[in-house]
Amino acid sequence: LDLASHLIVVLSLQCSMPRSLWLGCSSLADSMPSLRCLYNPGTGALPAFQNSSEREDCNNDEPPRKIIPEKNSLRQTYNSCARLCLNQETVCLGSTAMKTENCVAKTKLANGTSSMIVPKQRKLSASYEKEKELCVKYFEQWSESDQVEFVEHLISQMCHYQHGHINSYLKPMLQRDFITALPARGLDHIAENILSYLDAKSLCAAELVCKEWYRVTSDGMLWKKLIERMVRTDSLWRGLSERRGWGQYLFKNKPPDGSAPPNSFYRALYPKIIQDIETIESNWRCGRHSLQRIHCRSETSKGVYCLQYDDQKIVSGLRDNTIKIWDKNTLECKRILTGHTGSVLCLQYDERVIITGSSDSTVRVWDVNAGEMLNTLIHHCEAVLHLRFNNGMMVTCSKDRSIAVWDMASPTDITLRRVLVGHRAAVNVVDFDDKYIVSASGDRTIKVWNTSTCEFVRTLNGHKRGIACLQYRDRLVVSGSSDNTIR
């Protein structure tokens, strides 16, 4: 060992000993001559002091004596310092109450082994119990602020070892199961809100803490809330919710009749969603996919203009004026809907109806299961280019530069509410939610309208050529244009 190594050893021992043991010195500066005496340049060893007279010799101005270390002197030095630490009494918390608190140290010996120093039994003075009772009596008579100030003062007088002992004593007292305590005070919603911020791994762990935590997780439908949070913030989750169909179980209040899926349904759904996401990401990275083709071309069919699909079927609008419904698994045509006299340019369906728009200027409503035509809407003067419907409302747009807003009481009871005008060219696409209707046109602009009042709100400019496509979701509008940009 070099001198720096010996210095680190001694300073490390100082950190765990009272100041009175620092080689008989009151400061680090005073201890430096002692360190020079300890170090033997000839052997590079630290000898063990046998008595206090050897320490006194270190403070003399005489040149240091040559000390011949005994065998295993480094180990003896460690043990001697440890014995000094154990034999010292520390004054604690008062001038009369004396008790011995022995340091527990784990020393690493020269041969690499470790030795645990076992503390001696704590010794209490004869008057300790009586004085303690007197202190407690006075303490209980003080105000809370005085008690806190007194305890702070006591702690400031203690050594580092005592601080650690008090910390280990207080730590379990400061721990509280607040998730269990909150429902007991009628604050279930706060406990549920706290746990709703957990990720999936942490939520699994929370369920296993105790029965009360599991009950809070289950009653609060926290797995449903976790999936809803992911759908709101992640476009991949949002797309899967629409394509897989499980989005219909989200963002709905729990009905009073208890018909909604339980928390276990969403807990089982989560790993299936993760599996789908991992498969999609793996396919993108590795290029693994299966390509299946549906051949729609015939003597009359020359192109597919629009489509929508789910897990069971594919619905397509064709240039031959028909709507064809295909089985997604077998790729066979299950049904052909006829009635339009022009190309089918746009469509949308839900679990009840299919609504289509055509170049024949009409909008037609079909029964999704029977394939029967239920209604025909005649309003636009030119081709219906796009449409959207949701929650009893439908919006259509046309080459005639207008936008029509419809109220849908039922598939057979659809009435025109308002016609929106303002675009100077064909309106190619529309989208809406409960707050805004957004439309894009060949006039290079996007216009925003109020959904409730149908009043104009603002115009969004930026594209240099006509806008061909648009999507509006979560207050964000994304548009694509013939100017080769996406905005």
Nearest Cα neighbor of 120 from 105, 103, 107, 134 is 103
What are the residue boundaries of the structural domains of the chain, listed by start?
A: 3-116, 128-174, 178-286, 304-481
Percentage of the chain surpassing pLDDT 70? 73
Query: What is the pLDDT at residue 2?
Result: 39
> Contact 439/417 with Cβ under 8 angstroms?
no
Per-residue pLDDT tens digits for 171-189:
888 888 889 889 988 898 9
Identify the weakest region by mean pLDDT among 53-67, 111-125, 128-142, 355-369.
53-67
- Cα–Cα dist 416/360, whole Å: 19
pLDDT band at 124 (very low <50, low <70, confident <90, very high): low
Max avg pLDDT among 125-129, 131-135, 364-368: 364-368
Give the pLDDT mean for 64-84: 42
Identify the weakest region by mean pLDDT among 109-113, 259-263, 311-315.
109-113
Mean pLDDT estimate for the chain: 79
Per-residue pLDDT tens digits for 282-306:
888 887 777 788 887 766 667 899 9
Cα Rg, the chain, nearest whole Å: 41
> Contact 434/451 with Cβ under 8 angstroms?
yes
- Cα–Cα dist 474/291, whole Å: 33
The CATH architecture to which 304-481 belongs is 7 Propeller (2.130)
Per-residue pLDDT tens digits for 129-161:
888 888 888 889 999 999 999 999 999 999 998
- Cα–Cα dist 259/131, whole Å: 68
- Cα–Cα dist 66/77, whole Å: 17
Residue scoring higher pLDDT (356 or 60): 356
- Cα–Cα dist 81/77, whole Å: 6
> Contact 392/425 with Cβ under 8 angstroms?
no
Query: What is the pLDDT at residue 475?
Result: 84
Query: What is the pLDDT at residue 24?
Result: 41
Instruction: Select from 3.40.50.300, 3.20.20.80, 1.20.1050.10, 1.20.1280.50 the CATH code of 178-286.
Output: 1.20.1280.50
Query: What is the pLDDT at residue 329?
Result: 87
Query: What is the pLDDT at residue 300?
Result: 66
Residue scoring higher pLDDT (259 or 304): 304
Q: How many C-beta neighbours within 10 Å does residue 383 have?
A: 19
Q: Distance from first CA to last CA of the chain, Å, rounded? A: 69
In CATH terms, are 178-286 and 304-481 the same topology? no
